[in-house]
Structure 1
Amino acid sequence: MKRKALGAVIAQGVQAATGLLLQILVARLLGIEEYGRFAILYGVVIVATAVVTGLIGDSLVVLDRSQRRVRAGLESMLVLTSVVLAVGAFTIAWSSGFSGFWEALVFAVALAAFAVEEIVRRMLIAHMSFLRTAATDVCGFLIALILILTIQLTGTLSLAAFLAGIAVGQLLASVIGWLLLPRDDRRLVSLVGADLGAVWRYGMWRGLQQVLRPSLFTVVRLIVLSASGLTSVGLLEAARTYTSPLILVIGGLSSFLFVRFADQHKAGAGGSVREADRVVLFLLLGTVVMSVIAVVLIPWVSPIAFGVEVDALAVIAWLAYGVSVAIVTPYGALGAVAGRQVGVFFIRLSDTLLAVLAVIGMLAFGAAPSALPFGLAVASMLGGLGLRWMVVATGREGDGDR
């Protein structure tokens, strides 16, 4: 199990590194203001990917996808969701004037490509094939990098071209990941008779929950945009991107825990709160160590990565948020596989709304944008405590039933 947990960290670490490098490329090649605009578009992509992850990705882990109707339901839901999200993204980006027609169109294609690639990743993760997952991400990144640098050499690189490079990389990564799946999971079935209801009943709540965190980031960006402008968005996002490997490594362990707890639940032995407590302690210790290293390296790493030295206060604030994520994720995974996905969602919704109110309140009282993640961290920690209380109460009810 330790090997698989390490594999999960490696897979998520690779995803973090590739995402970080792509964002650094935007900042370095297109400038900090374009990076602020990219951050908003990319945030929408992350929100859409989170919807697909929860709605379909978590469902394929928990539900019996060997049943033809369930498998058809998963396939149908992926097609429907990807199309709806892509059309919605195009319409909003173009009609709002945020992007031109072609940029909005490329943005929509990139969003759909991310959605498909994420489900291929989730299928590999469901088999605990974490190194294959990492290989898929590396291939997608290298393809995108080659295309982006080639366009840069022609002197015609724009945000639309950058998004096009990412889209092609994601599409080809989906094909590579698909070929790395076991033969049984590579088969596609007819969509006739698809059990969309089974996927929707479980995945709806997981999809809604998964979208909360990236939606929160997008809302914070928009609030900062209206209060301080694109440069402030870019600087705050640079600090978040600088600390994102920490958040995504925690996310990797969360994916491992979700699969582990789901397998235990299918076998009739649910995960324990004590096990989740041990994971939280491990994550907290690791987070503190990585945070100290990140702060020490700011003067050397951030100018190379972003062309500016990121705000140390913003980095520390985002690291505090990373600590809160370490508290939340194990209890959320344990509650979701135990059938308490509705309760998990409402607790996470509550702490997300509290975080938005905290950001608005902090700005109203004159706080600098760089301090805003502290408010997010406090709200998230309260949510983690609420999740722990819920899974403890669930365990007591289960004992009583027996």
Structure 2
Amino acid sequence: MKRKAVGAVIAQAAQAAIGLLLQILVARLLGIEEYGRFAILYGVVIVATAVVTGLVGDSLVVLDRASRSIRAGLQAVLLVTATLLAIGAFLIAWLTGFSDAVEALVFAVALAAFAVEEIVRRLLIAHMSFVRTAVTDVCGFVVALAIILGVHLADALSLTTFLLGIAAGQVVATVIGWFLVPRGDRHLVGLRGADMGAVWRYGVWRGLQQVLRPSLFTVTRLLVLAGSGLVAVGLLEAARTYTSPLILVIGGLSSFLFVRFADQHKAGRSGTVREADRVVGLLLLGTVAMSAIAVVLIPWVSPLLFDVTVDPLAVIAWLAYGMSVAIVTPYGALGAVGGRQIPVFLIRLSDTLLAVGVVIVMIMLGAEASALPFGLAAASLLGGIGLRWLVLSTGRSENPGT
């Protein structure tokens, strides 16, 4: 089991490294202002991917995908959701004037490609095939990097062609990942008789929950954009990207915990609050160690990565947010697999709305953009306390004699 946990971290670390490298490429090849614009578009992609991850990805882990009707339902929900999200992304980017028609179209295609590739990743994760998941991501990145550097050498690189390269990489990753899925789970079925209702009833709450954190980041970026401009967005995003490996490693353990707790639940056993507490303790120890290293390396690493020195205060603030995520993650996974996805979502929605309110108040009081993640961390920490209370009270109600 420890080997699988390490594999989960490796898979998420690979995804973290790829995301970090892509953002570094934007910052260095297109400049900090275009990086600010990319951060907003990429943030929307992450939000859309999170919707699909929760709605379809978590459903395929918990529901019986061996059932033909459930499998057809998963396929149908993925097709409908990815299509609607891509169309919505195109219209918003184009009609608001944020992108021209061509860039908006490429952006929509990239979004759809990310959504489909994420479900292939989730199939691999459901089998705890974390090394294969990492291989899938790396292959897609190599293709994207080749296209981006080739266009750059031809002196034709723009944000549009950058997005096109990413989209192509995601398509390749989807194909490779599909063939890495175990043979017994590598098949499609006709959509007739699809039980979309079962997928929707479970997945909608997970999808809504998954979208909260990336939505919070996107709203924060937009608030900073309105108050301080694209350069401030780029600098704040550079600090977040600098600390993103920490958040994504925690995300890798979250995927592992969700699958593990789901398997235990299917076997008639349930994870315990004590087990979640141990995981939180380990995550916090790892977070503190990684945070200390990250802060010490700021003067040397950040100019190399982003061609600017990131604000140490912003880095510390994002690291504090990472610690709060380490507290939230295990309790949320434990509650969701036990059929408590609705109250888990409501708690996470409450702390997200609180975080938005805190950010707005901080901006009104004249706080620097670099300090805003402290507000996000405080709200997230309160959510973690609420989730622990939820799973603890659930355990007591199921075992009144203990």
**2:99 aligned partner:** 99
CA distance in structure 1 between the aligned counterparts of 2:171 and 2:79, rounded to whole angstroms: 14
**2:334 aligned partner:** 334
The SS at the match of 2:400 is: helix
CA deviations over 1:107-163 (Å, ceiling 9, x no partner): 000000000000000000000000000000000101000000000001010000000
TM-score, scaled to structure 1: 0.99
The SS at the match of 1:187 is: coil
CA distance in structure 2 between the aligned counterparts of 1:185 and 1:301, rounded to whole angstroms: 43
**1:25 aligned partner:** 25
CA distance in structure 1 between the aligned counterparts of 2:364 and 2:97, rounded to whole angstroms: 28
CA distance in structure 1 between the aligned counterparts of 2:163 and 2:335, rounded to whole angstroms: 37
Q: Which amino acid aligns with 2:301?
A: V
Deviation at 1:401, TM superposition (A): 9.0
Q: Which amino acid aligns with 1:80?
A: V
Alignment of 1:27-42 (within 5 A): 27-42=27-42
**2:206 aligned partner:** 206
**1:361 aligned partner:** 361
Deviation at 1:400, TM superposition (A): 2.9
Gaps of 5+ in 2: none
CA distance in structure 2 between the aligned counterparts of 1:141 and 1:134, rounded to whole angstroms: 11
Q: Relative to 1, partners in 2 of residues 1:90 and 1:401: Cα closer, same or farther, differing over 3 Å?
A: farther
Deviation at 1:220, TM superposition (A): 0.1
Deviation at 1:185, TM superposition (A): 1.2
CA deviations over 1:30-66 (Å, ceiling 9, x no partner): 0000000000000000000000000000000000000
The SS at the match of 1:82 is: helix
**2:117 aligned partner:** 117
CA distance in structure 1 between the aligned counterparts of 2:199 and 2:147, rounded to whole angstroms: 37
**1:149 aligned partner:** 149
Alignment of 1:188-227 (within 5 A): 188-227=188-227
Q: Which amino acid aligns with 2:110?
A: A
Q: Which amino acid aligns with 1:294?
A: A
The SS at the match of 2:192 is: coil
**2:298 aligned partner:** 298
CA distance in structure 1 between the aligned counterparts of 2:17 and 2:268, rounded to whole angstroms: 37
**1:72 aligned partner:** 72
CA deviations over 1:280-322 (Å, ceiling 9, x no partner): 0000000000000000000011001000000000000000000
The SS at the match of 2:189 is: coil
**2:310 aligned partner:** 310
Between stretches 47-56 and 177-186, larger displacement belongs to 177-186
CA distance in structure 2 between the aligned counterparts of 1:135 and 1:217, rounded to whole angstroms: 28
Deviation at 1:184, TM superposition (A): 1.5
TM-score, scaled to structure 2: 0.99
CA distance in structure 2 between the aligned counterparts of 1:124 and 1:165, rounded to whole angstroms: 24
Task: Determine if the alignment matches structure 1 residue 347 to structure 2 residue 363.
Answer: no
Q: Which amino acid aligns with 1:243?
A: T
CA distance in structure 1 between the aligned counterparts of 2:15 and 2:273, rounded to whole angstroms: 29
The SS at the match of 1:353 is: helix
CA distance in structure 1 between the aligned counterparts of 2:129 and 2:115, rounded to whole angstroms: 19
**1:131 aligned partner:** 131
Percent sequence identity is 76
**2:377 aligned partner:** 377
Task: Determine if the alignment matches structure 1 residue 250 to structure 2 residue 250.
Answer: yes
The SS at the match of 2:226 is: helix
Alignment of 1:272-283 (within 5 A): 272-283=272-283
The SS at the match of 1:194 is: coil
CA distance in structure 2 between the aligned counterparts of 1:214 and 1:233, rounded to whole angstroms: 15
CA deviations over 1:310-340 (Å, ceiling 9, x no partner): 0000000000000000000000000000000
**1:8 aligned partner:** 8
CA distance in structure 2 between the aligned counterparts of 1:60 and 1:256, rounded to whole angstroms: 14
**1:83 aligned partner:** 83
Task: Determine if the alignment matches structure 1 residue 395 to structure 2 residue 395.
Answer: yes
The SS at the match of 1:110 is: helix
CA distance in structure 2 between the aligned counterparts of 1:228 and 1:366, rounded to whole angstroms: 11
CA distance in structure 2 between the aligned counterparts of 1:366 and 1:93, rounded to whole angstroms: 30
The aligned length equals: 402
CA distance in structure 2 between the aligned counterparts of 1:73 and 1:185, rounded to whole angstroms: 15
Q: Which amino acid aligns with 1:344?
A: V
CA distance in structure 2 between the aligned counterparts of 1:83 and 1:303, rounded to whole angstroms: 39
CA distance in structure 1 between the aligned counterparts of 2:60 and 2:14, rounded to whole angstroms: 23
**1:44 aligned partner:** 44
CA distance in structure 1 between the aligned counterparts of 2:33 and 2:336, rounded to whole angstroms: 39
Task: Determine if the alignment matches structure 1 residue 162 to structure 2 residue 140.
Answer: no
Q: Which amino acid aligns with 2:348?
A: R
**1:263 aligned partner:** 263
CA distance in structure 1 between the aligned counterparts of 2:306 and 2:14, rounded to whole angstroms: 20
Task: List structure 1 segments (4+ residues) > 2 angstroms apart after TM superposition.
Answer: none
CA distance in structure 2 between the aligned counterparts of 1:185 and 1:160, rounded to whole angstroms: 36
**2:61 aligned partner:** 61
Q: Which amino acid aligns with 1:306?
A: F
Deviation at 1:342, TM superposition (A): 0.1
CA distance in structure 2 between the aligned counterparts of 1:226 and 1:190, rounded to whole angstroms: 47
CA distance in structure 2 between the aligned counterparts of 1:198 and 1:363, rounded to whole angstroms: 43
